[in-house]
Amino acid sequence: MPQSYPPEPGPSMPAGPARRRRRLTDEETGRRMLDTALAMVHRDGLTVGLDHLGFEDVIRDAGVSRAAVYRRWPYKDLFFGDLLRELAGGAAPASAPALETTREVLGSVLAARAGDLATPEGRHDVITELLRVTAVSDFEAVHGSAEWRTYLALQATFLSLSEGALRADVQAALARSEQRFVERVAHGWEAVATALGYRPRPGTGGGFPLIATLACAAMRGLVLMALPEPGLLDRRVPANPTGASAAADWSLLGLAAAGLAVTYLEPDPDVTWDDARLAALTGSGLTRARTEPGS
């Protein structure tokens, strides 16, 4: 998290022992400037480019010496290049809902459907309901996320960069951020599917990383479409995409998630549903699963 720094003493401030501070190193000046600019972006969002950030405003808010800043970055474009690298390195392509919120959703579904876990048909209905319910909360969380909009703008800014070291650095950092996020989503799918006795379907070519990649793409596409058309957030389709025991009203993201589940997952024949497994699942197992958007 960006830190809050006390201002460096200026010429008009008392210079006595009580007010004297050591001079910041070049590295400390740079860290303060970048942290302050990151805080501004996270507060106000990122436009396509960084023109909305004033270099002098960053210097003022960072509480550092102008002379030290210009020694480190003789031109402000050099600073904004380093800021883009920082943003790309810490960016996430979408904002995850709070883990506690996800646990509450999962726990409420299990509490309402605990009796269904004893049969294959019941477990199918439970995982169907989890897909349907979590998709709604995930879609709303990501659509309202300032971090996601910053990531979208960052990608557009990257596309406008000229070929060179800065573009290559930002591209590599974005790729690493994307991979980290997909890995978290894959972990979420695996945790829930495994807890309910499902596995990747043999012959489909899709393990949990592929499922997560497709889930992220569906999430991002729908959130992007919903920016100019927010009605997509509330759109529901009466459907039964998984062949559950009953139809229900599905969000668009829920339909996409259900399609992935039907294509790539199947009940694991090696799982034995005995009393111990049922007790462990209804007691705590699934509610502790770490999940992310798209799960």
CA distances from 88 to 51, 64, 84, 186, 235 (A): 17, 24, 6, 21, 33
Q: What confidence tier does 12 reach under pLDDT thresholds 50, 70, 90?
A: very low
Q: Which residues pair with 265 in a beta bridge?
A: 200
Per-residue pLDDT of 258-273, as tens digits, reads: 999 999 999 999 999 8
Bridge partner residues of 267 (DSSP) = 198
Listed residue (110, 46, 33, 109) closest to 78, CA to CA: 33
Whole-number Cα distances in Å, 270 to 194, 198, 280, 290: 11, 10, 17, 23
Record the pTM. 0.72
Domain boundaries, the chain: 26-90, 99-288
Residue bearing tokens 């302050």: 36
Q: Sign of dihedral through CA atoms 136, 216, 46, 61?
A: positive
Cross-strand partners of 148:
none
Phi, psi (5° rounding) for residue 97? Answer: -65, 155
What are phi and psi for residue 205, nearest 5 degrees?
A: 75, 5
201: how many CB neighbours lie within 10 A of its CB?
15
| Residue, of 243 and 158, whose pLDDT is higher | 243
> For the chain, what percent of residues have pLDDT higher than 70?
81
Provide the pLDDT for residue 49: 61
pLDDT digits (tens, 9 = 90+) for 55-79: 888 899 898 999 999 999 998 889 9
**217 neighbors 94 (Cβ within 8 angstroms):** no
H/E segment holding residue 32: helix 26-44
Q: Indicate if the pLDDT at residue 35 is higher than 60.
A: yes
